[in-house]
Amino acid sequence: MQYIPNILFAILLVAGIGYFVKNVRKLTRNIKLGKDIDRTDNKSERWKNMAMIALGQSKMVRRPIAGFLHIIVYLGFIIINIEVLEIVIDGLTGEHRIFTKVLPDSVYGFLIGSFEILAVAVLVAVIVFWIRRNIIKLKRFLSSEMKGWPKSDGNIILYFEVVLMTLFLVMNASDLHFQHAGHGNVISQYIAPLFEGAPETAHIVERATWWIHITGILIFLNYLYYSKHLHILLAFPNTWYANLNPKGQFTNDPNVTKEVKLMMDPNADPFAAPAEGEDEGEPEKFGASDVMDLNWVQLMNSYTCTECGRCTSECPANLTGKKLSPRKIMMDTRDRLEEVGKNIDANKGKFVDDGKSLLNDYITTEELWACTSCNACVEACPVNIDPLSIIIEMRRYLVMEQSAAPMELNNMMSNIENNGAPWPYNQMDRLNWANED
334-388: per-residue pLDDT in tens?
999 999 999 999 998 999 999 999 999 999 999 999 999 999 999 999 999 999 9
Residue 280: is its pLDDT beyond 70? no
| Residues 317, 367 contacting (CB under 8 angstroms) | no
Q: Is the pLDDT of residue 231 over 90?
A: yes
pLDDT for position 150? 93
Residue 7 has pLDDT above 80, yes or no: yes
| Amino acid letter for position 103 | L
Q: What is the mean pLDDT of residues 97-112?
A: 90
* Residue 284: per-residue pLDDT: 74
Q: Provide the pLDDT for residue 180.
A: 86
At the topology level of CATH, where does 254-272+283-419 sit?
Fumarate Reductase Iron-sulfur Protein; Chain B, domain 2 (1.10.1060)
Question: What pLDDT does 282 receive?
Answer: 61
pLDDT tens by residue, 118-171: 999 999 999 999 999 999 999 999 889 999 999 999 999 999 999 999 999 999
Residue 237's CB is within 10 A of a number of other CB atoms, namely: 16
Domain boundaries, the chain: 4-31+63-228, 254-272+283-419
Task: For residue 359, list its beta bridge partners.
Answer: 363
pLDDT score, position 407: 87
**pLDDT reported for residue 437:** 56
Q: How confident is the model at residue 415 (pLDDT cuts 50, 70, 90)?
A: confident
What residues have CB less than 8 Å from 235, skipping those under 6 apart? 53, 54, 304, 383
Residue 272: pLDDT over 70: no
Minimum mean pLDDT among 34-48, 74-88, 110-124, 419-433: which range? 419-433
- Work out the pLDDT band at 403, boundaries 50, 70, 90: confident
Rounded to two decimals, the pTM is: 0.89
Q: What are the b/e assignments for 346-373, b being 16+ CB within 10 Å?
A: eeeeeeeeeeebbbeebbebebbbbbee
pLDDT > 80? residue 250: yes
Q: Provide the pLDDT for residue 420.
A: 80
The confidence score (pLDDT) of residue 24 equals 96
How many whole angstroms separate alpha carbon 88 and alpha carbon 10? Answer: 9
Q: Tell me the mean pLDDT in the region 253-274.
A: 73
pLDDT at res. 5 = 87
- For 287-322, the pLDDT digits (tens) are 999 999 999 999 999 999 999 999 999 999 999 999
Average pLDDT, the chain: 90
